[in-house]
């Protein structure tokens, strides 16, 4: 990567720092269009000049060939990727199918690997290159230092109640089998696997407080919503943080 080029841009008086960094990297790494595509996600473009600078400096290019599997379902999550060049497919194993099911295909600017890092759980899918290309790799430590604090923001129950009193909406992302007898009467209920499909139907004028039962799914959903420009937080401690008297 051309570090000097980035230094020149970052030291300049560019008013739009995200666009400045995008221009610096467009010719500095393989797949010159990927910074523009990456920064189309409003959450990434809005994390701030200093954080963007640190992020782009911490990324390491990884050349890949068609057929390479760089994320494997069930393995420990240890890094985050941005597709710089080429295309890849995401597959997931389902109990009733003999072969993994293809669930998505991504190209330059796409991000992969966030879920396992945020949930501190094994990878929930595999990702394989369909073409030769290049990935930008961010270590798990750098992800937790640079992106997680900016896009997956926790709140205490007291803070959440204050937000709700000012018009924020509760978003309950538990699976049906996790609900049991505990429910916030004012919460919107959308199971976390469905949230991705319905995300762009959510009203962006509201703030959202995401809550779950296992303390793993709500940070993932809050991050995803923040990435696409929604004002979202997650309840620290999940349903265990809510007094019994406030539950339906």
- Mean pLDDT estimate for the chain: 87
Backbone angles phi, psi at 173, to 5 degrees: -110, 20
pLDDT > 80? residue 21? no
Structural domains of the chain, with CATH: 1-149 (2.60.120.10), 152-246 (3.40.250.10)
What order do you get walking across the sheet with 69-71 strand by strand?
A: 69-71, 126-129, 88-92, 101-106
* Bridge pairing between strands 69-71 and 126-129: antiparallel
Helix (H) or strand (E) holding 45: helix 42-45
* Bridge pairing between strands 188-189 and 207-211: unpaired
Inter-CA distances, 196 with 27, 135, 191, 221, 228, Å = 33, 24, 10, 8, 11
Rounded to whole angstroms, how far apart are CA atoms 159 and 157? 5
Give the per-residue pLDDT at 32: 58
With 0.85 as the threshold, say if the pTM is over it: no
Could you report the per-residue pLDDT of 156-208, keeping only the tens digit for each?
A: 999 999 999 999 999 999 998 888 878 899 999 999 888 877 877 889 999 99
Arithmetic mean of pLDDT, 29-56: 84
Percent of the chain residues topping a pLDDT of 70: 87
Rounded to whole angstroms, how far apart are CA atoms 137 and 83? 9
Give the per-residue pLDDT at 231: 96
Structure confidence at residue 18 as a pLDDT band (50, 70, 90): very low
Could you report the per-residue pLDDT of 76-112, keeping only the tens digit for each?
A: 999 999 999 999 999 999 888 889 999 999 999 999 9
Give the per-residue pLDDT at 27: 41
């Amino acid at each position: 990567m051309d570090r000097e080029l980035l230094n020149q841009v970052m030291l300049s008086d560019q008013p739009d720092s995200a666009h400045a960094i995008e221009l610096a990297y467009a010719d500095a790494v393989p797949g010159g269009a990927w910074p523009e595509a990456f920064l189309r996600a409003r959450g990434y473009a809005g994390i701030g000049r200093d954080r963007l600078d640190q992020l782009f400096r911490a990324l390491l290019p990884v050349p890949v060939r068609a057929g390479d599997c760089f994320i494997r379902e069930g393995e420990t999550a240890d890094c985050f990727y941005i597709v710089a060049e080429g295309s890849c497919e995401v597959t997931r194993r389902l109990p009733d199918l003999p072969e993994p099911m293809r669930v998505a295909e991504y190209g330059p600017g796409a991000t992969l690997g966030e879920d396992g890092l945020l949930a501190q759980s094994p990878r929930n899918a595999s990702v394989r290159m369909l073409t030769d290309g290049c990935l930008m790799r961010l270590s798990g430590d750098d992800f937790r230092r640079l992106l997680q604090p900016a896009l997956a923001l926790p709140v205490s129950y007291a803070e959440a109640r204050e937000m709700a009193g000012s018009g924020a909406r509760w978003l309950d992302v538990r699976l049906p089998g996790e609900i049991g007898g505990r429910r916030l009467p004012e919460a919107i209920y959308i199971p976390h696997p469905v949230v991705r499909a319905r995300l762009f139907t959510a009203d962006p004028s509201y703030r959202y407080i995401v809550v779950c039962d296992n303390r793993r799914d709500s940070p993932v959903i809050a991050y995803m919503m923040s990435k696409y420009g929604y004002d979202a937080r997650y309840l620290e401690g999940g349903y265990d943080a809510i007094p019994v008297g406030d539950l339906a």
